Chain A
Amino acid sequence: MTTPMLEIRDLHVRIEDEGTEILKGVNLTVPRGEVHAIMGRNGSGKSTLSYAISGREGYEITEGDVLLDGKSILDMEVDERAAAGLFLAFQYPIEIPGVATMTFLKAAMNAQRKARGEDELGTPEFMKEVRNAAAGLSIDNEMLKRALNVGFSGGEKKRAEILQMALLKPKMCILDETDSGLDIDALKVVSDGVNALRGPDRSMLVITHYQRLLNHIVPDRVHVFADGRVVESGDKDLALELESKGYAAFDGKAA
């Protein structure tokens, strides 16, 4: 059997400041090249899962393990996990005034290259890569000149996340509610961008709350998330079943 790209074993996470346990034993395996979806109510702990995998401060792992390509990443810093091939597309991308988008992209690409012992990217190559990737996502030059995410519309922010994903070429992508705040047209652009990045050596975990995204990004498997754990897994039809029956049928709570 080949090593899965992502393996989450009995993961328990609590918020450091409050002590409340949010993740209560998550088990999940994403094989190489597959796209899995996580669906769950608001507040069920989906974003917490994405932050815990990324290594965000304040999310204390009390039990369990997370393996990326067969190796535990729990002792790694946030930036080391990224350089190892993990990417999180944020539900709410952060606005950073004073940092030009291009400067940021270059710093990120070169930091990862450096961590992997590769040479820095020259400006012409960098510009070429950005232009190519940006064109596919309908991102114009004007947007790239602005400060990172500052004044970007909801759709622009999500496209900028996918642009970063395209440039950083991660092997494991976690997309946290990439569909939220998008209209139908924007949803199509973003989904096409994501689909273009699917490949045999790249896995994805698509977090969403509505089934509609999964019409565009068709998953290999669907996991239903409730109260900090996976309560049901199935093929893509599970998303449809969830849509028609509602979350209550799975987690036993009133809607």
Chain B
Amino acid sequence: MTIAMPIRLGPAEEVLIAQLESTGAKEAADALRAKGLPNRKVEAYHYTDLKTMLRDVPGTTASADAVSAPKFQIAGAYRVLIANGVASHDGTPPNGIIVSEEEGNALNPRDDVIVGMNRGLTSSHLKVRFEGSVDPVVHLDYRLAGEAHHVATSVLIEVADGATATVVQSFSGSDAAHLGNHGTRIVLGKDAHLLHVIIDQSGMATRHFHTMEYAIDEKVQLKTLGINLGAGLSRTSIFGSFNGGGAHADFSGMNLIDARMHCDVKLDLTHAVPDTTSTELYKAVVRGDGTSAFQGRIVVAQDAQKTDAKMMSQGLMLSDEAQIFTKPELEIYADDVQCGHGATTGDLDENSLFYLMSRGIPKDEAAGILTCAFVQELLDRVEDAELNEALTGLVDEWLTSEGRA
């Protein structure tokens, strides 16, 4: 018999345990008490040691402040506001979109403290179901208003067999030390098409956690683009499972990171059945003493023959203090597969800068052009004109902002 050493719990953990117990989430509370928040020895949190980075936890009651003006808007989109965790939407949704409140949490249980807390703190979820070919972009507009509080949300996105949808989730709010723990499960039926864009523009003081789970059926076509440019501390965990042949997914993201920000993206994909393909392309641009991390893991199951998965991460450091961590992992149990990964990190190419400047373009502008070019291929994947314009605006705004020293 092994005797587990009792672990020492800090004040943040004590508060979290009390919050979980008060909602009756005994299991999650016990798990947290037994393990504590993950430190860097826990592989999945290697670059984001929550034991030291999450030092205080605000209460679960939101103040009565009105929500701020929307930070991100898409012309022509159907918007669902999720203010301090409470969803509301205007009028009847357009054809093919069914919005409902359902019992239980959307995420599956897994050995992950953030998921455990998300499941423990929510007892219902918002379900958005798409049927047929849905034209308008659906925009889930999450806002954390007023004074710092701890909020958990749970959403299920269901794209029916043969249906087509575009979903945007954007996160913003007041610049308070909120703790946002968001869970989204995405279930894609046979031959479903989805473009899923996730944007984090939370205030600098906010701690932002988002767990996504994709269930990918036969012949699905999925494209994802995560854009992280907010929150002093953020962690995105993406889990995906290919469960039907002929499916293809392009997972992608860009972290646009300023001074004093820490942003961690963890991707964990399983090609569970034969004949599925995927690409993963994650980029980071870091200014000041910001930190960006990417951990990508692809598992190819033993009978998942003909899997083709190509993972790439690219980092651009715009200052000497910038930090970029990247860790790709492939676990392949099948023999007839094509899988690969690559990673590059560097600063702006001197030759390119010189070339642009030799044509009269000042250094800052030239650097902006090259940085824009670095992320351009990700924006190019968004075909919807209005959405593309909104995202391009967001990226341009970041590029032309001074950046915090």
Contact = CB atoms under 8 A, between A and B. Distances in A.
Interface of A: 54, 56-57, 77-79, 82-83, 87-88, 90, 93-94, 96-99, 103-104, 107-108, 111-112, 115, 147, 164, 168
Contacts of B359: 79, 82, 104, 108, 111-112, 164, 168
Size category of the B interface is 20 to 34
Interface string B347-376: 000111011111111110110011011101
Contacts of B366: 79
A4 B362 CA distance: 27
Contact of A104 (B350, B363, B369, B376): B369
A7 B131 CA distance: 73
Given A82-B357, A90-B358, A107-B361, 12 more contacts: A54-B354, A54-B358, A78-B354, A79-B358, A82-B358, A93-B355, A94-B354, A96-B373, A107-B365, A108-B359, A111-B360, A168-B359
A96 B361 CA distance: 15
A57 B355 CA distance: 12
B358 A88 contact: yes
Given A57-B350, A94-B351, A94-B355, A79 B373 contact: no
A168 to B, nearest CB: 7
A111 B360 CA distance: 6
B372 A98 contact: yes
B51 to A, nearest CB: 40
Contacts of A57: 350, 354
Contacts of B363: 77, 79
B382 to A, nearest CB: 15
A14 B376 CA distance: 37
Contacts, number: 73
Contacts of A99: 369-370, 372-373
Contacts of A87: 358
B377 interface: yes
B373 A98 contact: yes
A94 B358 CA distance: 11
A31 to B, nearest CB: 24
Contacts of B369: 99, 103-104, 107
Contacts of A96: 352, 355-356, 370, 373
Contacts of A98: 372-374, 376-377
A112 B370 contact: no
Contacts of A111: 359-362, 365
B362 A79 contact: yes
A144 to B, nearest CB: 15
A61 B352 CA distance: 22
A231 to B, nearest CB: 28
A77 B377 CA distance: 31
Q: Which has the most chain A C-beta neighbours within 10 Å: B357, B360, B362, B369?
A: B360
B321 to A, nearest CB: 21
Contacts of B358: 54, 56, 78-79, 82, 87-88, 90
